[in-house]
Chain A
């Protein structure tokens, strides 16, 4: 062993001597697992779930890729162009304006034009976005009590006035009828089409499965077709549904697949999907930035694979608005390079940043240094371009507010405590995914 080898061993040993676990790590890990499951259920499979490459045979023989049966086809999604003239990007201008150049912007921390101003007091507003608290679904003036046991972590509306709710602990989803009665169960991470006609799931083995709005299986795509086992990955991971096409990531690869469940045909895409927008058939895609621990956010067309724009900086995509005009992202990202933080080490952006999808410009921010009254925890924007935000306070309470793109908010539902008082604690409100 050389002198350098010995010095290295000693230096590494020395620098770990002062490292100690000072909390209940097992409890925190279990809570983190629950939190991750809810995130996978609710917004997007942001982090590639590394699953150990240990094969577990499953009895799914009854469902094969060839067993496709006709699927009810719903109304096609319309794509609406943004109204008004797009405002100039707040950051650096796009790159060279050649026909093939990708417009590239930098999220350098310049303030967005609007900051959310959260409200206080009693509920005064309403929202069209359904939400769940406890075992009660709130759909505008209607309330539906779920007549099944579970720690519900996601909510989606189905086309027949039914609902899909998912237990955040078990990843088992329950199809409910319009009165909240359970009809059937689906295992795995699920996504529901915007129309509510099609449910897609990636099961624990990594196969894709499609179900109709009553939870009846209509097609499946076996994990063997994934071609992603060499990376120690789990197989397909559903990312979104556009009409009858299911989009899924392929294990840990920087690659995905488009699977048309009505024809059984598949098409491979050379990038990993963060969030899929059914309104415009585009996806937010994260790519590595110029330096380690930096990233760029790209809007990719899922049919042409064209990159519409690239926004480089510390933003993580979470959800599109129902009409596809806006992309919601968070600036709270762990593990960033120092160059992506403010000089004092704080995040450049808050927990909610609204990006206009027509040009990649930032239009609104919430929860940043200049934000007031709370921190955005989860959010959805309906087709009326109104935000519904679950707002967290430093005390751990969560309330629901509705906000305009001008930054004006009103309280929709009162503050409620989280289930567990640790950072990964469960949020009381679950907003509908579609």
Chain B
């Protein structure tokens, strides 16, 4: 595969999956700027190893894993270029509200999800948004199924407590 073909192949993959990946990045970070950074860095790494990624049976699983790792390791910091602050990759519009869910409660729940420890939040996002099984989630997080169970149950327990405290 020459460089032009590689680029075209990668571009086609991104175009097909970009909305889903953008939403995952946003859920993992809860912030547009951070989501943009995670998304671009993850895809940059995917591009560098594109031959291996496309050869994988489930490329999305690799991409998710890179995104989660990116999100978790961001304390190391990456240089941000400031020359084009208006040049955003993502647009985030406030949600209209969910039928059957009190808008305030929805916002509170979202806020509490963002307050979860990184691994717990990632487990919750992968299980409840991406609908991954515990085994698939374990693969993405690079941990055991038992650890996924533990992360998820602790997260749900914490969310229940915080929501009940909020309504008390």
Contact = CB atoms under 8 A, between A and B. Distances in A.
Q: Is the interface of B mostly helix, strand, loop or mixed?
A: helix
B27 interface: yes
B11 to A, nearest CB: 4
Interface of B: 7, 10-11, 14-15, 18-19, 22-23, 26-27, 33-35, 37, 39-41, 43-49, 52-53, 55-56, 62, 65-66, 69-70, 73-84, 87-98, 100-101, 105-106, 109-110, 113, 117-118, 124-125, 128-129, 142, 156, 159-160, 163
Interface in A304-348: 316, 330, 332-336
Interface residues of A, number: 67
A335 B75 contact: yes
Contacts of B88: 22-23
A50 interface: yes
Given A15-B27, A47-B78, A9 B45 contact: no
B47 A22 contact: no
Contacts of B11: 26-27
Given A21-B89, A36-B41, A16 B23 contact: yes
B26 A8 contact: no
A232 B23 CA distance: 24
Nearest to B93: A18
Contacts, number: 224
B92 to A, nearest CB: 5
A149 interface: no
B95 A18 contact: yes
Given A16-B27, A48-B76, A29 B34 contact: no
Interface in A109-135: none
A53 to B, nearest CB: 9
Contacts of B81: 35, 332, 423-424
Interface stretch (A99-107, A157-165, A256-264, A290-298): A290-298
A32 B22 contact: no
B40 A232 contact: no
A330 B23 CA distance: 30
A19 B77 contact: no
A30 interface: yes
A334 B128 contact: no
A17 B96 contact: yes
A62 interface: no
Contacts of A270: none
Interface of A: 4-5, 7-23, 25-30, 32-33, 35-37, 39, 46-52, 54, 56, 231-232, 252, 286, 288-289, 292-295, 316, 330, 332-336, 351, 375, 392-394, 396, 421-424
A238 to B, nearest CB: 17
Contacts of B96: 14, 17
Contacts of A39: 79
A153 to B, nearest CB: 14
B3 to A, nearest CB: 8
B75 A54 contact: no
Contact of B79 (A52, A316, A336): A316
Contacts of A13: 98, 129
Given A21-B18, A25-B39, A394 B44 contact: no
Contacts of A20: 19, 22, 90-93
Given A8-B109, A12-B27, A28-B89, A332 B128 contact: no
Nearest to A272: B76
A17 to B, nearest CB: 6
B95 A14 contact: yes
B106 A11 contact: yes
B91 A19 contact: yes
A33 B45 contact: yes
B89 A11 contact: no
Contacts of B92: 18-20
A26 B142 CA distance: 26
Closest 6 CB pairs of A and B: A18-B93, A29-B43, A16-B23, A335-B74, A33-B44, A32-B44
Contacts of A33: 44-45, 47-48
B19 to A, nearest CB: 6
Contacts of A37: 48
B23 to A, nearest CB: 4
Given A12-B125, A52-B53, A316-B77, A23 B82 contact: no
Contact of A292 (B66, B75, B82): B75
Contact of B10 (A9, A21, A26): A26
Given A22-B88, A54-B52, A232-B65, A11 B109 contact: yes
Contacts of B39: 25, 29
